[in-house]
A = this chain, B = another copy of it.
Amino acid sequence: MDLATSGGEPERFGPTIGTLGEDALVSGVIDRYPSAPWLTVGPGDDAAVLDLTGSLAGPLIACTDTIVEGQDFLRHWSTARDIGIKVAAQNFADVAAMGGRPHTLLVSLTTPADVPAGWANSLADGLAAECSRAGAVVAGGDVSSGAEIAVTGTALGTLAVPRAVLRSGARPGDLIAVTPGSGRSAAGWALLRAGLRDVEDPVLAALVREHRAPVPPYPAGVEAALAGASAMIDTSDGLVRDALRVARASGAVLDLDPDALRPSADLLRAASVLGSAAGSEPEPDPRDWVLTGGEDHALLACFPPSAVVPAAFGVIGRVRSGEPGVWLGGRPFTGEGGWRHWS
């Protein structure tokens, strides 16, 4: 990674985490996190203490998600700041997918001793940046030694409606809608894999950037809940695979409209560039990115026919009765895909 790619962050310089030691590493990282009015006791003690009153009162939402080097990111593809954004984003997206507002993040970092301390500082900067975008704060964390880098986030949020929006509430007749961006992360990944890491084309560069550091539409989750969404999920593992989870939990068919899922011009352009790249594999089908690409963290929601679908969502199909599954254009979807661990 060159400094241009890493945004000039001093990730590669200075002492390693091992030579710096746990206490110095932790106090250096903590200094990078802003505070917030609800953070009565922040990082540095045995635990954090949160004052969740006023606008933060209400049912508490909690979830946890880990990213592992080699599985979920590569250090030569992503800066530490990207990785911090990614772990915060995928946790906050899960809070949003219940109809909640994320407000707090805890982070546990496992890392080998030879990682530069500057890398951990840049990770903290990415966590802080995504917390800032989401209106949240880093409340605490942990560091451990291990053979590979893994970062676990735990997000807390407040439910913005009386009842959480579950995966199980879709009913026949409901509209299926999704926030924009499905397939963009997969396209960015394909560009990276083809070696087009520092591509100058701004359209392609945006795809690469969104793969490295997703941009979930957090407020759309609350908007969907307030609009009466019957079911919702964060499409972290790909549109079809996550739609299948809603279908199974709801006992219904999610029938997607292929016309509404046409790849955007950005995806078509990425596929074309990849297809014409010397030594490349056959030109990829951007419809695969849309249907089975993971890590977009778009929100898929179902709405009763009477609901006004929020502007942040586009309708992509309708819920039908039948053997639970995902259909495409009125027929069962038989394609494979979507992210699976250990495969």
A71: chain B residues within 8 A (beta carbon) = 144-146
A273 at the interface (CB under 8 A from B): no
A31 at the interface (CB under 8 A from B): no
A110 at the interface (CB under 8 A from B): yes
Q: Are A342 and B17 in contact (CB-based, < 8 A)?
A: yes
Least Cβ–Cβ distance between A214 and chain B, in angstroms:
15
Least Cβ–Cβ distance between A271 and chain B, in angstroms:
28
The distance in angstroms between the C-alpha atoms of A162 and B327, with both chains bound, is: 55
A61: chain B residues within 8 A (beta carbon) = 47-50
Q: Are B40 and A164 in contact (CB-based, < 8 A)?
A: yes
A233 at the interface (CB under 8 A from B): yes
The distance in angstroms between the C-alpha atoms of A23 and B46, with both chains bound, is: 34
A177 at the interface (CB under 8 A from B): no
The distance in angstroms between the C-alpha atoms of A343 and B20, with both chains bound, is: 10
A41: chain B residues within 8 A (beta carbon) = 98, 164, 166
Least Cβ–Cβ distance between A247 and chain B, in angstroms:
13
The distance in angstroms between the C-alpha atoms of A98 and B46, with both chains bound, is: 7
The distance in angstroms between the C-alpha atoms of A139 and B94, with both chains bound, is: 14
The distance in angstroms between the C-alpha atoms of A335 and B40, with both chains bound, is: 35
Q: Are B49 and A60 in contact (CB-based, < 8 A)?
A: yes
Least Cβ–Cβ distance between A168 and chain B, in angstroms:
8
- A167-195 contact mask (Cβ, 8 Å, vs B): 1 or 0: 11000000000000000000000000000
A68: contacting residue among B18, B140, B144, CB under 8 A: B144
A98: chain B residues within 8 A (beta carbon) = 41, 45-47, 49
The stretch among A101-109, A124-132, A278-286, A315-323 that forms the contact with chain B is: A101-109
A48: contacting residue among B63, B65, B67, B168, CB under 8 A: B63
A142 at the interface (CB under 8 A from B): yes
A148 at the interface (CB under 8 A from B): yes
Q: Are B72 and A46 in contact (CB-based, < 8 A)?
A: no
The distance in angstroms between the C-alpha atoms of A232 and B49, with both chains bound, is: 14
The distance in angstroms between the C-alpha atoms of A66 and B65, with both chains bound, is: 13
The stretch among A150-158, A288-296, A305-313 that forms the contact with chain B is: A150-158
The distance in angstroms between the C-alpha atoms of A143 and B71, with both chains bound, is: 12
Q: Give A139's nearest chain B residue, CB to CB.
A: B62
A30 at the interface (CB under 8 A from B): no
Interface residues of A in 170-225 (CB under 8 A from B): none
Q: Which of A47, A157, A232, A343 has the most CB of B within 10 A?
A: A47
Q: Are B110 and A342 in contact (CB-based, < 8 A)?
A: no
The distance in angstroms between the C-alpha atoms of A125 and B87, with both chains bound, is: 28
A331 at the interface (CB under 8 A from B): no
A52 at the interface (CB under 8 A from B): yes
8 contacts between A and B (CB under 8 A): A40-B164, A47-B61, A47-B164, A60-B156, A64-B107, A64-B141, A66-B108, A68-B144
Chain A residues close to B by CB (< 8 Å) = 17-18, 21-22, 40-41, 45-52, 59-68, 70-72, 94-95, 97-98, 100, 104, 106-108, 110, 113, 139-148, 150, 152, 154-157, 159, 164, 166-168, 232-234, 249, 340-343
- Known pairs A49-B159, A52-B59, A68-B145 / 10 extra A-B pairs, C-beta < 8 Å: A22-B342, A45-B164, A47-B94, A47-B98, A50-B60, A64-B108, A64-B141, A148-B148, A152-B152, A154-B154
